[in-house]
Structure 1
Amino acid sequence: MSLRSLFSRLQSSQKATLGAFKDKRRPARQTNSWRYYIVSFLVVLSLLLSAFWLLMLIGYQLGAYNPITWLACALVIGLLTSLLLVKIKPKLASKVINNTFHRPFSQSTIITWLAGLYAAVWLLGFGWFFSIEAKQSRDWMPEVSHRVTYERDETNPDLITFTNVRNFDWHTSEDATERWETRTVDMSKLSGVDVTNSYWMGPLIAHTLVSFRFEDDRPLAFSFEIRKENGESFSAFAGFFRRYELSLIASEERDIIYTRSNARGEQVYLLPVSHLQQSEVKSLFESYLTAADELNAKPAWYNTLTSNCTNIIFYMARIVSGERLPWDYRIWVSGWLPNYLYDVGMLDANPKDSGQPWSMATWYERAHVNPKVRGFDNQADLDNQANSSKFSAQIRQGIPIPPLADSQAKADAKAKSAAKASNE
């Protein structure tokens, strides 16, 4: 073989090797490119979400037409636009900034300063958010103007005397005759718990109330609600930004359920919780007393996600019942709370007066309050207690009222059996 042929072969093999090497490197560059775009997307998304949160906070706290709100919007949007411009059009951005300050800055320096300034503005807003304190004294709407308080009997701690139990006569959704009463209940006579869901914004969102039944007395209802000021309306978005104080209302059902089913026209369902011991019911009742103490000692904020009318109840109930109430996404989708209770066996799937198990559809049909109280005369010529008892009896027509369980073992066994029946 001649030297010329040898060099020719070596040269061709070297080109092939370099070509293979380039082919091997090409996917790596492509992979790095994808990683770069994913990271960039996440960074941009984080910036946009953080800016949205900050501007919503300022808007809900100060008002959309406040000059400070507009200045904050201009500052935040200006910073984000500048950051975006530096990445997309670095030469143009550098030229504008250098001409403005009459000195040269590198692209990395510009990005560092803009990002640092935005971070400082956002952290300032974040710190302000946590410094906003809830208050007890505002111009409250009449239905949340009083705070429930209580006293225990010195000789019998089961006797609880409540002050400021709400018992309004509702004429329309906004007009009512105010009445705040004092009422004494005996915790040793607790006989059960009912959960009421009131649907006011579609099938996913409901307001949740809890009623405690007594052996020889009418039920007493509790409701965690926003404490609205006069002229204020509820916004789910505003509930994320420390806009509403939290309120605990103790009320007659003739007030707090009637105003939803009849005055406002919401769709209301009352569901008796099964397979509970009296000790569990009493502990849950005590949890409400503790909540009243805490809110009276220090006001708290309502939060649409973490401390709303449904999941606060779940937190308290889970302390009482533990693993019998597993964590579930439906705790945050309040409209599906009845289905959750059914699936975990806390609604009796096979009432004694029925020849076959009740489906969830049957429960919704039987538990529907509106048809039972349509036309109910809330202004009847009866004393308040008699009218309250009549309303409470009427909303429970057609549904089984479960007895309390004798023991924890029986309660657990029946709940597991009901859960199994509900899932078959």
Structure 2
Amino acid sequence: MSLRNFFSKFLSSLKADHSGSASTSNDTHRPRNWRHYIVQFLLIIALILSALWLLMAVWYQLGATSPMTWLATIFIIGSLTALLSNRYWPKLIHKVLPKSVAKTVINHHMSSKWLAGLYAAIWLIGAGWFVSLSPQQDRDWQPEVSQRLSYERDANNPDLITFTNIRNFDWHTSEDATERWETRTVDMSKLSGVDIINSYWMGPLIAHTLVSFRFEDERPLSFSLEIRKENGESFSSLGGLFKRYELSLIAAEERDIIYTRSNARGEQVYLFPVSNLKQSEVKSLFESYLTVADELNAEPAWYNTLTSNCTNIIFYMARIISGERLPWDYRIWASGWLPNYLYEIGMLPKAPKEEAQPWSMDTWYERAHINPKVRGFDNQSNVDASANSSEFSTQIRQDLPIPMLTDANKIAD
């Protein structure tokens, strides 16, 4: 239903109701069936939800201390309250006042059409303002998202990618770290697999999802799509629905981007190696991250808790590559259950070769748990950061089956 039709229908019901009110004074009520009351209820709910959406957009964008926030709140709530009160005011007047007095009050009562027009104007102005908000590249960013990932291809070998601004911080606490942004060259022809890392920080349903790419004879490289927080800013799931945060792509060493979650922040982190992949699929997924980097450098984008978050963006990219092998599923939005989804569609290894019995999902969660494996790990190495990174990556994969690509033998030949 269009906005125009919505208000037209609502105003028609208001007009009919006023006619009914006038008839009440002459005791000529027309009976109304259940459909009438359902329509009225749905219209009222729709109006309340529209006001709630606009109020939250204003509060998350302008902040609770802004005078404009309070002024907008007064206008939105005031106009909607007047409109809904006017809708039921005649009935209440007839119940509590004498007929002659009630008739006088109703004749001087504000027009429902005028009130509906006022609320519609306020809502449309607010919605237009919200739509016009655009993401920015230059803000006072927090250090861990202050740089943008960029890359260059080797002119003679397009598989050789040189990244600029690979993050490799030494984390001391959850908020304090020694900053280090590095340049690193990787060879896509040496890609050997993909791992999904889930970091749980607010219960079993919600997790932050990272993707690590493994290379032959080289330490892995992790990618993370996350909010680009400003200094003094914290994450809010609701705020993520109202253009509160820009989207950021981070490429980092595992000793940085996983350690900060498992050790510095105390989140519960799990690593799941994905099986049944071809190198062409892994390479295409890697290329998808390069495309995201290009797009974000060309034009910033908003993070959205539902449609553009750390998990479903990965799924969108992977599904373009793998098609029907990745069927649509509600767990794409309940990111904490993503490992269960991978297990059910056969994309987690059954078990190490020495174990004949296939692993259950409970066994997977037990073996994939990173925190016990790196408890007490020292990531403050200033002598050989690459060796320190390699050691961390080895430890978090202890006791896990690391599957080969399905076309590995063909590639070797």
Could you tell me the TM-score, scaled by structure 1's length?
0.84
Segments of 5+ residues of structure 2 without an aligned counterpart are 1-29, 98-103, 409-413
Tell me, what secondary structure is at the counterpart of 1:89? Answer: helix
Q: Report how many residues are paired.
A: 372
Do 2:166 and 2:181's aligned partners in 1 also have CA atoms closer than 8 Å?
yes
* Equivalent in the alignment of 2:148: 147
Q: What's the offset of the Cα at 1:149?
A: 0.3
* Letter of the 2:57 counterpart: L
Distance in 1 separating the partners of 2:63 and 2:162: 41
1:359 aligns with 2:365: no
Do 2:90 and 2:106's aligned partners in 1 also have CA atoms closer than 8 Å?
no
* Equivalent in the alignment of 1:67: 67
* Letter of the 1:183 counterpart: R
Q: What's the offset of the Cα at 1:34?
A: 1.6
Distance in 2 separating the partners of 1:179 and 1:231: 21
What RMSD over aligned residues (CA atoms) do the two structures have, in Å? Answer: 2.1
Distance 1:354 1:38, change over 3 A: same
Q: What's the offset of the Cα at 1:382?
A: 4.1
* Letter of the 1:287 counterpart: S
Deviates more, 1:167-176 or 1:345-354: 345-354
Do 1:86 and 1:93's aligned partners in 2 also have CA atoms closer than 8 Å?
no
* Equivalent in the alignment of 1:306: 307
Do 2:154 and 2:161's aligned partners in 1 also have CA atoms closer than 8 Å?
yes
Distance 1:185 1:89, change over 3 A: same
Question: Residue deviations 1:368-418, cap 9 Å, x none?
Answer: 0000000001114640000000000000001000000129xxxxxxxxxxx
Q: What's the offset of the Cα at 1:351?
A: 3.8
* Letter of the 2:215 counterpart: F
Do 1:246 and 1:302's aligned partners in 2 also have CA atoms closer than 8 Å?
yes
* Equivalent in the alignment of 1:390: 391
Tell me, what secondary structure is at the counterpart of 2:33? Answer: helix
Deviates more, 1:83-92 or 1:390-399: 83-92
1:76 aligns with 2:76: yes
* Equivalent in the alignment of 1:270: 271
Distance in 2 separating the partners of 1:371 and 1:233: 28
Distance in 2 separating the partners of 1:325 and 1:183: 31
* Equivalent in the alignment of 1:41: 41
Do 2:222 and 2:252's aligned partners in 1 also have CA atoms closer than 8 Å?
yes
Tell me, what secondary structure is at the counterpart of 2:302? Answer: coil
Do 1:85 and 1:93's aligned partners in 2 also have CA atoms closer than 8 Å?
no
* Equivalent in the alignment of 1:54: 54
Do 1:219 and 1:252's aligned partners in 2 also have CA atoms closer than 8 Å?
yes
1:238 aligns with 2:239: yes
Do 1:199 and 1:268's aligned partners in 2 also have CA atoms closer than 8 Å?
yes
Deviates more, 1:110-119 or 1:254-263: 110-119
Do 2:211 and 2:223's aligned partners in 1 also have CA atoms closer than 8 Å?
yes
Distance in 2 separating the partners of 1:103 and 1:350: 79
* Letter of the 2:88 counterpart: I
Distance in 2 separating the partners of 1:69 and 1:53: 14
Distance in 1 separating the partners of 2:268 and 2:369: 8
Q: What's the offset of the Cα at 1:106?
A: 8.5
Deviates more, 1:80-89 or 1:391-400: 80-89
Do 1:349 and 1:358's aligned partners in 2 also have CA atoms closer than 8 Å?
yes
* Equivalent in the alignment of 1:22: none
Distance in 2 separating the partners of 1:293 and 1:389: 28
* Equivalent in the alignment of 2:221: 220
Segments of 5+ residues of structure 1 without an aligned counterpart are 1-28, 96-101, 408-424
Distance in 1 separating the partners of 2:75 and 2:402: 60
Deviates more, 1:156-165 or 1:398-407: 398-407
Superposition pairs for residues 6-405 of structure 1, below 5 Å? 32-90=32-90, 110-380=111-381, 382-405=383-406
Rg larger for: 1
Question: Residue deviations 1:300-352, cap 9 Å, x none?
Answer: 00001000000000000001101100010100001111111111111123442
* Letter of the 2:270 counterpart: Y
* Equivalent in the alignment of 2:12: none
* Letter of the 2:55 counterpart: L
Do 2:190 and 2:215's aligned partners in 1 also have CA atoms closer than 8 Å?
yes
Distance in 2 separating the partners of 1:78 and 1:396: 59
Tell me, what secondary structure is at the counterpart of 2:308? Answer: coil
Distance in 2 separating the partners of 1:322 and 1:91: 59
* Equivalent in the alignment of 1:417: none
Distance in 1 separating the partners of 2:179 and 2:86: 61
Q: What's the offset of the Cα at 1:258?
A: 0.1
Percent identical: 74
Distance in 1 separating the partners of 2:165 and 2:339: 30
